[in-house]
């Protein structure tokens, strides 16, 4: 892409998210979301093949529909309360509609159908931006309107997201779809804890973004998009294969890795609020995610599948992809658990 | 199924189990599945010519003779009417769809495409379509330029000993006299899009493989192999990836191996300047087209169509784009 156009697009993407995160007025927040959506379209269509065009079209349709629903919610809120403040969305119809619109933007169930299709249709880098950066703006709005949201709807959507994220990822061989379902599942965890402790939602989001960025960067460096090419990664980059293994375990929430921290704190928070069945259900459904992460680890790091020599002995070119943030991200993704008391102190 | 339900709701009455005078109009709404239940009631009892003659002769004889027997009317008596059950048709259809949904859940748990993951990862060759019975022919649709007013004919039937399928017919490049088509002359067969429960579209995942394998026996004509990707957007339904298949003719079977990297992209029948790689994770259908402008009969015998991994083939994509067209 033309460097000037790319810088303009990335700047607008950054600005859109920051406008939404920093605004307390619904209209500016909505404007930021629209800027985000519009600049994401050329990013998704960076490679102009028909599949990425279809993915960008699907993304545009769903996000535009969510924006329309959000605008309707704001209008109803304005009609009943006469104000545009995000934190005071008292009308239940408006808050439910806004909640559904933001859940569509996040890709949580039952509005999740676009996530695997769009993520699979685009390259790894736009997919990475879609599953990490694009979550910031809607979650910041949900964080602000947490007190007036319908908790039943949030719990239902959260549980469905965890279930569908786990179930959907089970028989996938394409890595981008696996990460899309992983995203749906993590959104479920973030939504459920929102009425209890919104800070934990942000913590979960931060850890999730770190983990997802690490995995996407590893896959981008090794040009891996499917499980069959993952089985040959040990030959090209054995160190990165090991790191992928630990990062996936962390994403599954296994102690003593960083990914265990948000799950532990969330279950602790839920049980403190006399909710036993829900965290139990969430923990059991998270095992589905853990199952397909373990399968990825099994086939990439723990076993060597039969392959021919010309698949093993490939030409080794100088890697032109930059990896400067990857070691930091991997370290943070795996070794943050001992800092948990510090995070409790910040609350 | 949906049309049947709408019809039932609009009518507001249950169609009698043994309807005496079924109307053709009501059966139009019932759809293909329910047609099996009611079509027989529309038909006259199929009588052989000998049989048709004999009641008349008998009647004449009876008129001449002692007592009259009943005249054979078109309306069959209630006792002979087959049972028409609209409710049963809907119930069976719904049960079938839910059974398929349950099967999908179970196969989803087992692994990709209903098989364990290690089997899918280790697989290096797979037969996707084979022709061993009439049910295999139902997975294909034949088409020709008759749809636009041309004169080509194409048929598909099972070959000898039910070991292959024979696509045969007559190609005619005579243009239809409709005032707008100046060219004509194509025949082809396309595989049906695989459907799941509630007629949802499914697709094939061939990302493990890199070559298409066809065991065919032709008559020396050049065919075109077309692959379509699964899509939800109507504009992409005209896009396909094609390559040529040159048949040798002669009595021996021919093994055609076409790497997927060789397929070129076309939209609305025109090869585009910007070319894209065929992505193998969502394949919808495969088709064979004959349009070589040579009038006359043709045939193509197909044993099976499969995909496999050719380890010697390392090419990712055979074509490159001009940076002016595709920066």
Confidence of residue A339 (pLDDT cuts 50, 70, 90): confident
Q: How many CB atoms lie within 10 A of CB B29?
A: 14
Residue B154 to residue B146: CA distance in whole angstroms = 9
Tokens 């990460």, residue? A179
Alpha-carbon distances of B205 from A171, A230, B78, B202, rounded to whole Å: 12, 17, 53, 10
Specify the CATH number of the domain B123-308: 2.60.120.430
CB contact (8 A) between residue B239 and residue A50: yes
Give the ipTM. 0.86
What single DSSP character describes residue B103? H
User: How near does any CA of chain B get to the CA of A257, in Å?
Assistant: 27
- What's the pLDDT score for residue B121? 86
Pairwise pLDDT comparison (B80 vs A85), residue with the higher score: A85
Contact (Cβ atoms closer than 8 angstroms) between residue B220 and residue B247: yes
Cβ neighbors of A125 (< 8 A, separation 6 or more) are A46, A216, A220
Q: How many CB atoms lie within 10 A of CB B122?
A: 14
CB contact (8 A) between residue B112 and residue A172: yes
**Among the ranges given (A2-6, A305-309, B4-8), the one the predictor scored with the smallest mean pLDDT:** B4-8
Contact (Cβ atoms closer than 8 angstroms) between residue B3 and residue B29: yes
Residue B277 to residue B261: CA distance in whole angstroms = 7
What is residue B227's three-state secondary structure? strand
Question: Which residues of B sit within 8 Å Cβ distance of A?
Answer: 108-113, 117, 120-122, 205, 207-208, 229, 231-233, 236, 239, 265, 274, 276-277, 279, 281, 311-312, 314, 326-327
B interface test, pick of A1, A47, A49, A167 with most B CB neighbours within 10 Å: A49
B interface test, pick of A2, A50, A306, A308 with most B CB neighbours within 10 Å: A50
Tokens 């243009």, residue? B175
Q: What is the 3-state secondary structure (H, E, C) of B220-261?
A: CCEEEEEEEECCCCHHHHHEEEEEEEECCCCCCCEEEEEEHH
Cβ neighbors of B57 (< 8 A, separation 6 or more) are none
- What's the pLDDT score for residue B255? 95
**Residue among A54, A167, A231 minimizing CB distance to B121:** A231
Contact (Cβ atoms closer than 8 angstroms) between residue A18 and residue A32: yes
Instruction: Please list every residue in chain B whose beta carbon sits closer than 8 Å to the beta carbon of residue A299.
Output: 117, 121
- What's the pLDDT score for residue B246? 95
The answer, for A120 touching chain B at a CB cutoff of 8 Å, is: yes
- What's the pLDDT score for residue A149? 86
Give the CA dihedral A313, A314, A320, A325, nearest 10 degrees: -40
- What's the pLDDT score for residue B179? 83
CB contact (8 A) between residue B281 and residue A120: yes
Q: At what angle do helices A124-131 and A175-193 cross, to 10 degrees?
A: 10
What single DSSP character describes residue A171? T
Alpha-carbon distances of A101 from A29, A119, A286, rounded to whole Å: 13, 20, 25
Residue A31 to residue A141: CA distance in whole angstroms = 13
Q: At what angle do helices A124-131 and A26-44 cross, to 10 degrees?
A: 160
Which string of b and e fits A272-287 if b means at least 16 CB within 10 Å?
Answer: eeebeebbeebeebbe
Domain, as residue range, for A4: 1-343
**Sequence ranges of chain B with CATH classification 2.60.120.430:** 123-308
Interface contacts A/B by beta carbons within 8 Å: 65
**Residue among B108, B113, B233 minimizing CB distance to A57:** B233
Question: Which chain B residue's Cα is nearest to A308?
Answer: B311
What is residue A174's three-state secondary structure? strand
pTM of the model: 0.84
Instruction: Please list every residue in chain A whose beta carbon sits closer than 8 Å to the beta carbon of residue B208.
Output: 173, 226, 228
Residue B327 to residue B322: CA distance in whole angstroms = 8
**Residue among A173, A295, A310 minimizing CB distance to B205:** A173
Q: How many CB atoms lie within 10 A of CB B14?
A: 10
Instruction: Please list every residue in chain B whose beta carbon sits closer than 8 Å to the beta carbon of residue A1.
Output: 327
Residue B154 to residue B143: CA distance in whole angstroms = 7
Contact (Cβ atoms closer than 8 angstroms) between residue B167 and residue B302: yes
Contact (Cβ atoms closer than 8 angstroms) between residue B222 and residue B244: yes
Question: How many structural domains is chain A composed of?
Answer: 1
- What's the pLDDT score for residue B8? 65
Burial class of A211 by CB neighbour count within 10 A (0 to 12, 13 to 18, 19+): buried
- What's the pLDDT score for residue B154? 94
Instruction: Give, for all 327 residues of chain B, the pLDDT tens digit.
Output: 666 667 666 665 444 444 444 444 444 444 344 333 333 333 343 444 444 444 444 444 544 444 444 455 555 566 666 677 888 899 999 999 999 999 999 999 888 888 888 888 888 899 999 999 989 999 999 999 998 889 999 999 998 888 999 999 999 998 888 888 888 899 999 999 999 889 999 999 999 899 999 999 999 999 999 999 999 888 888 999 999 999 998 789 999 999 999 999 999 989 998 899 999 999 999 999 999 999 999 999 999 999 999 888 888 889 888 777 665
- What's the pLDDT score for residue B113? 82
């Amino acid at each position: 892409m033309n460097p000037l156009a790319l810088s303009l697009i990335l700047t607008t993407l950054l600005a859109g998210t920051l406008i939404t995160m920093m605004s307390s007025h619904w209209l500016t927040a909505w404007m930021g979301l629209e800027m985000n959506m519009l600049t994401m379209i050329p990013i998704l269509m960076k490679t102009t093949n028909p599949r990425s065009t279809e993915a960008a079209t699907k993304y545009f349709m769903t996000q535009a529909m969510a924006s329309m629903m959000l605008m309707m919610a704001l209008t109803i809120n304005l009609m009943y309360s006469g104000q545009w403040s995000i934190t005071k969305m008292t009308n239940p119809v408006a808050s439910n509609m806004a909640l559904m619109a933001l859940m569509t933007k996040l890709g949580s169930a039952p509005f999740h159908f676009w996530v695997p299709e769009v993520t699979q249709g685009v390259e790894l880098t736009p997919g990475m931006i879609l599953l990490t950066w694009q979550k910031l703006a809607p979650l910041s709005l949900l964080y602000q309107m947490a007190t007036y949201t319908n908790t039943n709807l949030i719990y239902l959507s959260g549980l469905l997201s965890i279930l569908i994220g786990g179930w959907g990822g089970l028989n996938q061989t394409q890595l981008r779809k696996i990460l899309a379902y992983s995203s749906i599942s993590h959104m479920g965890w973030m939504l459920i804890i929102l009425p209890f402790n919104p800070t934990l939602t942000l913590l979960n989001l931060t850890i999730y973004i770190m983990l997802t960025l690490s995995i996407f960067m590893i896959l981008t460096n090794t040009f891996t998009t499917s499980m069959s090419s993952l089985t040959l990664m040990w030959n090209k980059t054995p160190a990165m294969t090991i790191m992928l293994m630990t990062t996936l375990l962390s994403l599954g929430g296994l102690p003593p890795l960083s990914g265990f921290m948000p799950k532990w704190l969330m279950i602790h928070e839920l049980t403190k609020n006399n909710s036993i069945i829900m965290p139990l259900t969430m923990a059991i459904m998270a095992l589905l995610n853990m199952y397909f992460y373990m399968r990825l680890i099994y086939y990439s790091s723990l076993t060597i599948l039969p392959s021919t020599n010309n698949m093993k002995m490939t030409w080794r070119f100088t890697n032109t992809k930059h990896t400067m943030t990857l070691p930091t991200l991997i370290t943070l993704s795996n070794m943050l658990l001992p800092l948990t008391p510090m995070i409790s102190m910040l609350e | 199924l949906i049309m049947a339900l709408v019809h039932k709701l609009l009518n507001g009455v249950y169609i009698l189990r043994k309807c005496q005078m079924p109307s053709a109009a009501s059966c139009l709404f019932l759809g293909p599945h329910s047609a099996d239940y009611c079509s027989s009631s529309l038909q006259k009892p199929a009588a052989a010519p000998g049989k048709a003659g004999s009641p008349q002769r008998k009647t004449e004889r009876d008129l001449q003779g002692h007592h009259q027997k009943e005249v054979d009317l078109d309306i069959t008596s209630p006792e002979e009417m087959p049972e028409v059950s609209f409710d049963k048709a809907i119930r069976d259809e719904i049960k079938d769809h839910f059974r398929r949904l349950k099967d999908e859940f179970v196969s989803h748990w087992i692994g990709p495409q209903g098989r364990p993951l290690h089997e899918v990862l280790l697989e290096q060759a797979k037969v996707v379509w084979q022709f061993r019975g009439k049910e295999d022919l139902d997975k294909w649709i034949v088409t020709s330029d008759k749809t636009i007013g041309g004169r080509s004919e194409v048929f598909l039937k099972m070959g000898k000993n039910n070991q292959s399928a024979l696509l045969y017919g007559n190609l005619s490049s005579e243009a239809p006299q409709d005032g707008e088509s100046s060219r004509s002359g194509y025949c082809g067969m396309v595989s049906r899009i695989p459907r799941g429960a509630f007629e949802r579209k499914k697709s094939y995942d061939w990302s493990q493989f890199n070559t298409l394998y066809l065991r065919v026996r032709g008559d020396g004509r050049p065919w075109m192999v077309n692959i379509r990707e699964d899509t939800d957007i109507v504009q992409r339904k005209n896009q396909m990836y094609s390559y040529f298949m040159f048949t040798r003719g002669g009595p021996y079977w021919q093994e055609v191996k076409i790497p997927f990297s060789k397929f070129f992209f076309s939209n609305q029948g025109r090869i585009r300047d910007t070319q894209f790689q065929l992505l193998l994770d969502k394949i919808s259908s495969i088709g064979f087209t004959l349009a070589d402008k040579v009038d006359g009969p043709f045939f193509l015998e197909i044993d099976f169509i499969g995909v496999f991994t050719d380890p010697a083939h390392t090419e990712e994509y055979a074509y490159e784009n001009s940076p002016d067209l595709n920066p």
